[in-house]
């Protein structure tokens, strides 16, 4: 038990370092920086290269990491975040997701994706006390974390720049009137946050012993959970949240096994959001400007085509399977499947104005529902397809039921937890889902006695489902219900003033989106014929969200265009696979900076 608690405190110290940077940035800029975990990976990989290739020691390595990550934090704010000032806060959030993708995949291109041993910059497992073996690296990390927290506290309380940071976080406009250089203060906040993330990457490498460039994503997401548990914007809360989460994870995994990691982490997130949404030490204030809510509705309207234009596009799309090769049809199935999920998402994240960051969860539920029904109960495919959508909608609605009483960014954060909890439950339900082994032997789709065993046949089926999804969503948007969704998204407070139950309508929009995600998951399962929980990760959720941002958040046809670009376009770069993944992040940042209304939308 003691060794478990010790390991939890060590991990918690890392989470706290990263979470403090997140909370600092959030408090000053109202931006949830999802690139923070990528900066952890930058610090880790820079330290690996300096320690192995140049043989540098711990002190010069830390100094070099401070310079590199601090510079990256400054560039991120100056080049990406500052130009978005005055726009909907969701724009900056999505931009940090794009920057994170660029950093993650840039590290893979530079250093290679393989796992490698981290250099022994400090001794590990060379000390013992109370029957616990630990290393000098663990002691240094804990001391460094404590000193960093105390130093940051003293800087913010007594330092002139620190006091300016606090003033800016409380009221940027008033800070400007008092002569505080708000832009410079925001730059400083990003630099401090990036440096803390980079230094924590060194200790992550020492603690884990083996690393790869993608390790930072998991640390970053967990640290974001820690910051939320402690209270976004609260520095002491970030420390407490990191330590608490580290200990809870360690104890939970020791009792339930590694497979329960996500359930423990994101289950704790959901519990704290429902019981105390402002976090353990966060201020209970009524925040009106929410960083993870709102759409680009103020900047654009979807482009509408005449009925004959829609009909022509549908006929043209249905004709492509008869002319495409196996390879092109295979690409087409992926485009259509992701487009189906994205089309549904336009109702909640576009029309209703609530960003959803966990669509991989309903996607996974739909895939597993269809796979189980067809392999174990011998259900016909079409019935299993419909059941996949219904079960995904019901599961999503049940898990988010207590969440809709929250507002703004708390709902969006909760959807991260809901999506991850769904996949974690699938992983743990081994008697039904076979856990991490996945389900094999999923049959090809069978429609009215015809087995769809070729890529062209499956592509045609996916197109039919996509067209039906477009018709249904378009009809909803044109109906009274759709107008209510848009009213909620355009001005939630005004909608509530005329007795519209905004939470109930957002819940309905989310259930519809989850239904279409479930359909997409079913189609994916029967195309792959094998699924496992690793397929349905946070990257899938971010990709679906990126698709609608690119096409136009409230444009169903734009979602199809976004899927063509993000799923089909990178196939043109198959000879450089790392570069095509890098393109996702670059495209996302460019769209947000230069065409925030999306490609298939016009400026209002």
| DSSP SS3 for 524 | helix
The per-residue pLDDT for 396 is 94
Q: For residue 583, which of 527, 543, 524 has the smallest C-alpha distance?
A: 543
SS3 content of the chain, % helix, strand, coil (to 5): 75, 5, 20
Residue 363: pLDDT band with limits 50, 70, 90:
very high
Q: For residue 545, which of 336, 318, 350 has the smallest C-alpha distance?
A: 350
Residue 271 pLDDT greater than 60, yes or no: yes
The per-residue pLDDT for 573 is 56
**Interval 281-310: pLDDT, tens:** 877 654 444 445 444 444 567 778 888 888
Residue 166: pLDDT band with limits 50, 70, 90:
confident
Poorest-confidence range of 156-170, 294-308, 517-531?
Answer: 294-308
Q: Environment class of residue 42 by beta-carbon count within 10 Å: exposed (0-12), middle (13-18) or buried (19+)?
A: buried
Question: What single DSSP character describes residue 576?
Answer: S
Q: What percent of the chain has pLDDT over 70?
A: 94
| DSSP SS3 for 601 | strand
Q: How far is CA 7 from the centre of its chain?
A: 27
The per-residue pLDDT for 531 is 96
pLDDT, mean of residues 483-489: 91
Residue 344 pLDDT greater than 80, yes or no: yes
The per-residue pLDDT for 287 is 45
Q: For residue 543, which of 570, 573, 507, 579 has the smallest C-alpha distance?
A: 570
**Interval 65-117: pLDDT, tens:** 999 999 999 999 999 998 887 776 677 888 888 898 889 888 988 898 889 99
**Interval 171-201: pLDDT, tens:** 777 888 888 888 898 899 999 999 999 998 9
pLDDT, mean of residues 525-541: 92
Poorest-confidence range of 56-60, 250-254, 329-333, 433-437?
Answer: 250-254
pLDDT, mean of residues 572-599: 72
**Cα separation values, 74 from 166, 183, 190, 383, 428, Å:** 19, 11, 6, 54, 42
Domain with CATH 1.10.3470 in the chain: 2-125+154-285
**C-alpha–C-alpha distance, residues 507 and 401, integer Å:** 8
Decide which of 1.20.1630, 2.40.128, 3.90.660, 1.10.3470 is the CATH code for 2-125+154-285. 1.10.3470
pLDDT, mean of residues 506-519: 96
pLDDT, mean of residues 330-357: 93
**Interval 14-27: pLDDT, tens:** 888 888 888 888 88
The per-residue pLDDT for 408 is 64
The per-residue pLDDT for 571 is 66
**Interval 200-243: pLDDT, tens:** 899 888 888 888 888 777 888 888 889 889 988 888 888 899 88
The per-residue pLDDT for 291 is 47
């Amino acid at each position: 038990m003691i060794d478990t608690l010790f390991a939890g405190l060590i991990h918690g110290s890392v989470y706290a370092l990263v979470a403090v940077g997140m909370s600092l940035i959030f408090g000053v800029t109202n931006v949830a920086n999802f690139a923070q975990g990528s900066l952890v990976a930058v610090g880790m990989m820079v330290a690996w290269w300096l320690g192995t290739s140049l043989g540098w020691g711990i002190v010069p390595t830390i100094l070099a990491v401070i310079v590199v990550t601090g510079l990256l934090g400054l560039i991120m704010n100056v080049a990406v975040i500052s130009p978005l000032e005055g726009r909907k806060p969701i724009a900056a959030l999505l931009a940090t997701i794009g920057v994170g993708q660029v950093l993650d995949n840039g590290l893979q291109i530079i250093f290679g994706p393989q796992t490698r041993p981290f250099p022994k910059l400090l001794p590990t497992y060379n000390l013992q006390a109370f029957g616990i073996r630990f290393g000098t690296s663990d002691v240094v990390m804990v001391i460094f974390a404590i000193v960093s927290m105390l130093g940051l506290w003293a800087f913010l309380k007594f330092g002139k720049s620190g006091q300016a940071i606090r003033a800016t976080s409380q009221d940027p406009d008033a800070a400007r009137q008092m002569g505080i250089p708000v832009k410079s203060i925001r730059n400083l906040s990003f630099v401090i946050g990036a440096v803390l993330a980079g230094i924590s990457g060194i200790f992550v490498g020492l603690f884990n012993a083996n690393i790869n460039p993608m390790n930072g994503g998991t640390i970053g997401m967990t640290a974001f959970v820690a910051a939320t548990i402690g209270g976004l914007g609260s520095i002491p809360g970030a420390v407490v949240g990191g330590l608490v989460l580290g200990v809870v994870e360690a104890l939970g995994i020791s009792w339930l096994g590694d497979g329960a990691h996500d359930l423990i982490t994101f289950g704790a997130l959901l519990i704290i959001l429902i019981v105390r949404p402002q976090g353990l030490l966060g201020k209970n204030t009524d925040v009106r400007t929410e960083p993870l809510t709102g759409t680009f509705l103020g900047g654009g309207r979807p482009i509408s085509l005449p009925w004959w234009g829609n009909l022509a596009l549908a006929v043209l799309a249905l004709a492509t399977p008869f002319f495409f090769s196996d390879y092109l049809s295979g690409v087409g199935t992926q485009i259509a499947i992701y487009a189906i999920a994205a089309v549904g998402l336009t109702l909640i994240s576009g029309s209703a104005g609530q960003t959803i960051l966990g669509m991989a969860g309903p996607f996974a539920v739909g895939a597993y529902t269809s796979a189980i029904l067809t392999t174990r109960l011998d259900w016909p495919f079409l019935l299993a397809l419909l059941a996949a959508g219904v079960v995904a909608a019901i599961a999503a609605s049940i898990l988010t039921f207590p969440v809709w009483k929250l507002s703004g960014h708390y709902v969006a954060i909760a959807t991260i937890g809901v999506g991850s909890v769904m996949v974690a439950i699938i992983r743990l339900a081994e008697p039904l889902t076979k856990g991490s082994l996945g389900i094999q032997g999923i049959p090809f789709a069978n429609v009215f006695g015809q087995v769809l065993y070729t890529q062209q046949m499956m592509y045609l089926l996916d197109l039919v489902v996509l067209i039906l999804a477009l018709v249904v969503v378009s009809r909803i948007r044109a109906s009274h219900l759709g107008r209510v969704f848009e009213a909620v998204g355009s001005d939630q407070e005004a909608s509530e003033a005329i007795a519209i139950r905004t939470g109930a309508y957002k819940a309905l929009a989310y259930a519809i989106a989850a239904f279409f995600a479930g359909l997409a998951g079913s189609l994916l399962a029967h195309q792959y014929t094998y699924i496992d929980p690793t397929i349905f990760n946070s990257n899938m959720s971010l990709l679906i969200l990126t698709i609608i941002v690119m096409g136009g958040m409230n444009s169903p046809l734009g979602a199809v265009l976004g899927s063509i670009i993000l799923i089909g376009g990178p196939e043109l770069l198959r000879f450089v696979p790392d570069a095509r993944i890098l393109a996702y992040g670059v495209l996302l940042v460019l769209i947000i900076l230069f065409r925030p209304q999306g490609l298939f939308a016009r400026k209002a």
